[in-house]
Structure 1
């Protein structure tokens, strides 16, 4: 017979006892099991450990084997995107976006500055929400988009080369947070929320009159990366998602109070989920029925309460996550300060906008109570949802249709399982879950604290990614992984949905500016090794092939502005070269068939060595050259 103090929901304490939270959680689940036949989900510590071990053994990715999924992790405060293999949880690559990266030269090379802006003054980023472009509601593997909350930007990454190729600064707003993509017919728009209200015009006057403060929902053209339109809303925008018709997007909205203090933002029992009618907005823009703000030419529409473009659905309380179920039926708004998730029926939105419903809440078809601090919801494609509970440090698995039946008065339990995670989970993400193809295999939970899970590394602790097997009836924790601040969110894409290049094509637009300059100078990038002087501007063209630069010495004068172009002639994948000029803050990566360039001032007379800083050959150490700087 099972002893009460051996019952666990997730993982027991190492001392053999049970935490208060674990005890209460297990007791609650035992009650559910007795009522619904879920008693098999109440596990002893031994059975939990055995189940987890079985899951780990079944999904080991051995050396030389490939993962089933690409995982794209937001790099948080680092401003980058991390590429992971799932289920191995091996880090494959880091894609610099809003940060400076000395390994690849991002933020140093001219090609990266073409993207970041040559006058870029921001050396930081706060990358939150990575999302992959879609065609007909399925990942097409073309682009990945991610926001920079710190500096109000949105970036696009080409997934064929895993490089950022466009960055857009969104005007008229501050702090782009929630970001999702239009799913059908394809990703025409990147929908993104600006979180904080600001006065308009924001020029230092009338800063105390909150009536003049607002923020906006924004749509960016996915191909041109230009802002297509902005919609003014009431309150602070949080997260967002789109439906599977192309007609609607929905955003959670907190601080309906327009308060400037913490207590004030929590006065109201309900805030809103704001639904945007994309077709009506597009028509208004096409008809010219909009205004502009300041110097920006972006169409701005008023979507505050009473607008034809929006509807405000009251939901509790300071809502956070907004997620669309993969069957396209529901928007889910997590309550954060309420133990509930609000289920909004998308097929009722036409009637809502047509005025055929008595009130906005008529589109709500369920509101299950799950636990303390619900933040984000993901799905397995089998009718189940998984919601992170920040305060409880748990993931709640629940059945959507049962939750709706319960809301309608039926005596049915919708909770299937609660699993302890460590600790305070924010986002969670199941494999393929934002697309029609949600396959219910893996769930990643991104926890904000790790406490004692890993070796101590000083006052700043790592955070914790956990991998959970959701392929069966029980959730099974199979992996803990420390991660640097702050991973925030991720997305899992099947490996066959991403088609990467092995080497660059010579006409790749990523280095088009280098080719354009070379043509002006009469240079063939693949063949010439020459120095071009244009006043005090010097352009140095060189090729490389392992293990040598084909130009091993060049002369310039002190004070010259020097631009070095290196073209890697190697055609074998993996044979990447680097160029590092000693004591000049210059380094960059040049992959096979790529051209990369960097500009610097030769302000120090004398001999300055440059070398290949990406290991490429047995004679890699000998791959060097000299810059000779004549004294002015």
Structure 2
């Protein structure tokens, strides 16, 4: 019997049924971990593997880039349920990100109201996720941001000087995330101050290291070509980036003249030594040390690879890294030990670091790993995932007759990034693979010319990949990470701490005014400035009203004194474009000009009580 046609709701059930029929132990046990712990699960052996019963928790967290929405998203896996959106580079009216004083301090003055968020990566210690931070990049705004995992809130955003369009991003694995590595993709004049506007020969870009603890830019390296994606080793010695446009062109035809581009390897120890010895320069007003890592530098190694390489990914055993061909049907496998040999003078050419170049299909973009010696590569043009064996590919490159390709799985459609559970750490567990597809086409109900993107959940716990579920997604996810919920769930705070540094500056301001935020409801006037302090406790605000004059600069500071988990309040001021969220024990503030006389109601936007609709007050603006 043929599967139902695309668009038929029975099609997904057919696919799930076929997937389950081909799996041993269809009860939902994967690697000894029961993903259907509900009481009635035993009576439902045909439940799909992505089923999480009502009231039960997912076994994995997924952290997804939000692309041009500028936000990061948290998913539960395997249910693929979206749990929360974390605003980073975007304005979010729901929680007041970009509106509150606390968020604006993180975003900085005159922040761009938007961003293109790619590549979330969690901080690591000795190659294991440590649950402290997630770092993300903004291609549109040339920034790097840090998200605290305990409160799932962005706490630092760092603009990167001297460059434009931060694309690839990775975290140092060993000994811990000291550096966050960031690639600037577009070549620009340096300094970019209006000179050399139409002289591409004087354009350049740089590789940047950011201190993951202070979020200050540590150093930069000038490179040849346009930087794309980046990766690092498991020993803390090297970082590596794919580069394209070796021609230095500014239009497509000029960028396609050469037969090869390269992967550039950065010797971290040598770079640090050069900077310590004063062998660097600064550019314009920036004080960041800049070293020259272009061809011929002892700081870098340029490995020739097929034209326009894209993703670069390190295997969890710490032995290899791959560059995905994009315009070649091949993936280039390189050995970290060979990189050592090159910098120690034991290799004649950088190309000798290549140990395999398996041919997989059309449009390889990214490779993920399962920790069992297998790799999974997205084939953008073929709309497939290719599963292949790393050692077999190395043996075939050495002349042995061996088949390294194990399976090709159709996905829908045009996959970009993919990610395996724990696949970028030493703990890769080989349970799940997610394919982040650029096109959905016929997979969902039509929604107008703009279609959703499509994430597909794939079971890789057996010998064969099995497609388990479709999940529509807004905007364009560029990467994701997956980790077991048990690694993080006990580190996540259920309520804020009253001494949290996130609102420390607001607390300090209140102290100057003699205010105890947990109990005082007062209005403080300083000339044209008015400071309004109030508490919120379901179902009322501490102040039923406050009075200001037209033209006053008003700062409203609210402290949620409720301590019950999930009892969040909001503060929305009608006709002023102001809303902010105040979680239990949190303090939030917002500053604005009272430029319209009259009566303006404020009210709670998070349903908090049976009398939620009555939780409101008035701002009285005198003419």
When the two structures are superposed, what TM-score results if normalisation uses the length of structure 1?
0.92
Deviation at 1:15, TM superposition (A): 12
- CA 1:517–1:45: 2 relative to 1, 3 Å: closer
- Asked whether the equivalents of residues 12 and 45 of structure 1 are also in contact (C-alpha less than 8 Å), the reply is no
SS of 1:318 mapped into structure 2: coil
**Residue equivalent to 1:449:** 439
- Asked whether the equivalents of residues 137 and 436 of structure 1 are also in contact (C-alpha less than 8 Å), the reply is yes
Deviation at 1:213, TM superposition (A): 1.1
**Residue equivalent to 1:608:** 600
- Cα distance in 1 for partners of 2:399, 2:342 equals 23
Where in structure 2 are the equivalents of 1:73-92 lying within 5 Å? 73-92=64-83
- Cα distance in 2 for partners of 1:129, 1:46 equals 33
Deviation at 1:48, TM superposition (A): 5.4
**Residue equivalent to 1:67:** 58
- Cα distance in 2 for partners of 1:625, 1:81 equals 33
Deviation at 1:47, TM superposition (A): 5.2
- CA 1:596–1:15: 2 relative to 1, 3 Å: closer
**Residue equivalent to 2:34:** none
- Give the CA RMSD over aligned residues: 1.8
- Asked whether the equivalents of residues 142 and 163 of structure 2 are also in contact (C-alpha less than 8 Å), the reply is yes
1:337 to 313, 327, 330: 327
SS of 1:452 mapped into structure 2: helix
- Cα distance in 2 for partners of 1:538, 1:59 equals 53
- Asked whether the equivalents of residues 146 and 156 of structure 1 are also in contact (C-alpha less than 8 Å), the reply is yes
Deviation at 1:494, TM superposition (A): 1.5
Where in structure 2 are the equivalents of 1:349-360 lying within 5 Å? 349-360=339-350
- Asked whether the equivalents of residues 52 and 477 of structure 1 are also in contact (C-alpha less than 8 Å), the reply is no
- Cα distance in 1 for partners of 2:349, 2:298 equals 15
- Asked whether the equivalents of residues 7 and 443 of structure 2 are also in contact (C-alpha less than 8 Å), the reply is no
2:235 matched to 1:245? yes
Gaps of 5+ in 1: 17-43
Higher deviation after alignment, 497-506 or 419-428: 497-506
Q: Deviations over 1:605-624 (max 9, x none)?
A: 11111111111111111111
Deviation at 1:14, TM superposition (A): 5.9
- CA 1:560–1:351: 2 relative to 1, 3 Å: same
- Cα distance in 1 for partners of 2:251, 2:596 equals 53
SS of 2:64 mapped into structure 1: strand
SS of 1:57 mapped into structure 2: coil
2:174 matched to 1:184? yes
Deviation at 1:58, TM superposition (A): 3.8
- Asked whether the equivalents of residues 52 and 478 of structure 1 are also in contact (C-alpha less than 8 Å), the reply is no
**Residue equivalent to 2:226:** 236
**Residue equivalent to 1:617:** 609
- Cα distance in 1 for partners of 2:408, 2:168 equals 27
- Cα distance in 2 for partners of 1:568, 1:497 equals 29
Aligned length: 595
**Residue equivalent to 1:554:** 546
SS of 1:283 mapped into structure 2: helix
Q: Deviations over 1:106-157 (max 9, x none)?
A: 000000000001332x111000100000011100010001000001011100
**Residue equivalent to 1:35:** none
- Cα distance in 2 for partners of 1:196, 1:14 equals 40
- CA 1:84–1:219: 2 relative to 1, 3 Å: same
Q: Deviations over 1:222-262 (max 9, x none)?
A: 01111000000000000000100000011000000111221
- Asked whether the equivalents of residues 429 and 491 of structure 1 are also in contact (C-alpha less than 8 Å), the reply is yes
- CA 1:563–1:308: 2 relative to 1, 3 Å: same
Deviation at 1:205, TM superposition (A): 2.3
- Cα distance in 2 for partners of 1:576, 1:398 equals 48
Q: Deviations over 1:494-547 (max 9, x none)?
A: 112221001111110010111010111111111111000011000000011111
**Residue equivalent to 1:584:** 576
Gaps of 5+ in 2: 9-14, 29-46
Deviation at 1:59, TM superposition (A): 4.2
- Cα distance in 2 for partners of 1:564, 1:624 equals 14
- Cα distance in 2 for partners of 1:440, 1:301 equals 40
Q: Deviations over 1:28-76 (max 9, x none)?
A: xxxxxxxxxxxxxxxx999557438957624421111111111000000
**Residue equivalent to 2:33:** none
